[in-house]
Amino acid sequence: MITPRWWSQPFPPTGAIASEGIRNQLGRPPVDPLTVFVRETAQNSWDARLPGVETVYRLELTTVAPSYRPTWERLLTPPAAVQEHLGVGRAVSTPNLRLLSVVDRGTKGLGGPTRADELTDGRRDWISFVLNVGEKRDTSLGGGTYGYGKAVLYRLSRVGTILVYTRTADETGILVSRLIGIALGRSFDNRGRVDTESRPFTGRHWWGDVRDDHVEPLVGDGADEVARSLGLTPFEYGESGTTLVVIDPDLDDFEDMEQAAQHLAETIAWQLWPIMLPERGTDRLAPVVVAAGRAFPVPDPSRVYPLRMFVAAHRRLPTDSATTLDCGNPRKRLGRFALERSVVVPMSPSAVSLAASFAGVDGDPHHVCLMRSPELVVRYHEGPSTSSVHSVYAGVFRADDQLDDVYAASEPPTHDNWVSEQLTGHERTFVRATFMRLREQLAVFRAPAQNAPSTTSRTALGAVSNYLGGLVAAAFASTDEQPGRRESGRPGVPRTPTSGSGQDSPSSLNGSGGAGSSPATRARVTTLMEPHIEAANGSVVLVARYAVTTPGPVRLDARLSVATWEGREDEPPAGAARPMVREWRTAHGTVTDEFCVVNGPAEVELVVVPVPDTATDMSVVATPLTELTEGAA
């Protein structure tokens, strides 16, 4: 068996890129390395997916177990000559060495030749991932364009070192394992040392089967054996895929591994939701996050607010409610755009997850998610904020497949923006037009300008109360003025005869007149709590609390309508929704009906589903049922 060793790349006579150059390929330092990490590795896994099976994407945060640690130290300690330039030696000699692994299965692994100077017409995954830098990828409609993003792996490791353990089909279709280590340190020279030949080095190091002037990976059983001795996740029989191990990841921003894992799970939801949706069948990514043996579930994007609004918009893309955005000159289809609006209870700042704010959605959404063919989130483009904190929107813009190359070319190495300045000519116009169209689409939300022209004589205070007071119209509990107005013909529903005597007798209000002799014809309802907005199962509802003071059974009917400029709305516009009773909460459970019967005195809560973008007028009409039973007798 071959024992793997470290080999450092010397500068060839023709020169080479130094490792600092590779590390800086990402451009500006990432806001959150973990976000870039998740995006980049998931994109790699996604591009390598095999048809017909779900792509498993598992992030594992682990500590090297004490039983494995001696092996790590023995195998990975670099030779003395480069020890000061290769931090991994320090790392493997410390207890509690942390690892962050990306395990993908249902993918094809890194295949192709293991030497960059070998010609091939087939796959070159290995060459472009392990050896070359900045190689153009040929994945059709793939996520990345140039393999620059992998620099984040080295940046994330405090010692700039990763292990790559992959199993892939060779030319004959047989699955073969490969294992190699890669480190990016600083470029250096060893002129100070007497024990070796003095020359400059690029700072790139490989760990594996060292040959004269390059390093081959460990292959086959040799690779599996070393991987097993290091405790890496083994491959099942017939399984292909890749495991990337970041040695000693920089998780200083988090208090512990659990918190980091939680952040990773949320980041996955925010960055990868389009390829996680269940309607994709097997062509989907199945993410898992595990830390110290405990699974951290990835939030379901179609359930959690505010992500589910983006999901809803995304699901509308193929429907009529989405629009196609076009560029006018030259005439070209840019892509599809869909919008989801909602009325919400504003999030408290503490409820905003770190992952969401790194994604750029710092609270309630007023954003458009940009994506192109691979359906990976490019970015959450911030739109104008609405004039009301309760009103939010989430949009999705998906670039047309024909323009995929154009949008891809406008992306920086991290693929998280579209920058028209990177392009020229028509291509530049298309990207600019995209943002212009989006701006137009979102113009309705712009909060009113400060010095808006006003031709009315409203005082400033009046305007404020118009803005705020309109959100929830005041509710007044009223007694039943017109019992006969209710629609008839409901079998089995008790009703109060309109001809009842003593209609206005105040003495009967609290039943003090004696239920037998002077039956109450009116029931009294008072409002205990004015209607207010609540979130229930993720949707917004209006809740008001009433007290029924009349003893005995009382029927409560909700009177709901949209409050309009002209008062209560009698008839809605054609095809428009009306507010509806969601439920009555009584002491004896909830009633999901238009009306409810309680035994007074009692307290009830009326829960109403409002119509978006409207104000709701709600009140309760109470009718005692005692009279009916007695009158009938």
User: Which positions lie near another protein, rule CB under 8 A?
Assistant: 388, 443-444, 446, 448-449, 452-456, 463, 466-467, 470-471, 473, 562-566, 569, 571-576, 613-615
Comparing CB distances to another protein, the nearer of 137 and 439 is 439
> Residue 626: which of 558, 557, 554 has the closest Cα?
554
**463: helix, strand or coil:** helix
Comparing CB distances to another protein, the nearer of 31 and 576 is 576
Residue whose token pair is 């990514």: 285
Comparing CB distances to another protein, the nearer of 573 and 589 is 573
| Shortest CB 361 distance to another protein, Å | 24
**Token pair belonging to 128:** 């472009």
| Shortest CB 562 distance to another protein, Å | 5
Q: How far is CA 532 from CA 135, 204, 454, in A?
A: 58, 62, 30
Dihedral class, residue 214 (left if φ above 0, else alpha if ψ from -120 to 50, else beta) = beta
| Shortest CB 344 distance to another protein, Å | 15
d(CA 359, CA 381): 10
Comparing CB distances to another protein, the nearer of 468 and 535 is 468
| Shortest CB 386 distance to another protein, Å | 11
Q: Residues 335-359, buried b or exposed e (16+ Cβ, 10 A)?
A: bbbbbbbbbbeebeeeeebbbbebb
| Shortest CB 332 distance to another protein, Å | 24
Distance of CA 331 to the CA centre of its chain: 34
> Residue 605: which of 618, 617, 624 has the closest Cα?
618
Comparing CB distances to another protein, the nearer of 586 and 616 is 616
| Shortest CB 529 distance to another protein, Å | 22
d(CA 6, CA 182): 9
Residue by residue, DSSP assigns 576-616 as ----EEEEEEETTEEE-SSEEEEEEEEEEEEEEEPPTTSEE
| Shortest CB 566 distance to another protein, Å | 5
Output the CA angle 244-248-251, nearest 5 degrees.
Answer: 105
Specify whether the CB–CB gap between 522 and 503 falls below 8 A.
Answer: yes
Asked whether the bond before 553 is cis by omega within 30 degrees of 0, the reply is no
Comparing CB distances to another protein, the nearer of 449 and 587 is 449
Comparing CB distances to another protein, the nearer of 14 and 459 is 459
The radius of gyration of the chain's CA atoms, rounded to the nearest angstrom, is 33
Helix axes 220-230, 69-76, angle to 10 degrees: 130
| Shortest CB 427 distance to another protein, Å | 29
| Shortest CB 559 distance to another protein, Å | 17
Comparing CB distances to another protein, the nearer of 350 and 454 is 454
**337: helix, strand or coil:** strand
- How many CA atoms does the CB half-sphere of 392 hold within 13 Å? 26
Comparing CB distances to another protein, the nearer of 70 and 470 is 470
Specify whether the CB–CB gap between 395 and 313 falls below 8 A.
Answer: yes
| Shortest CB 480 distance to another protein, Å | 26
Comparing CB distances to another protein, the nearer of 140 and 456 is 456
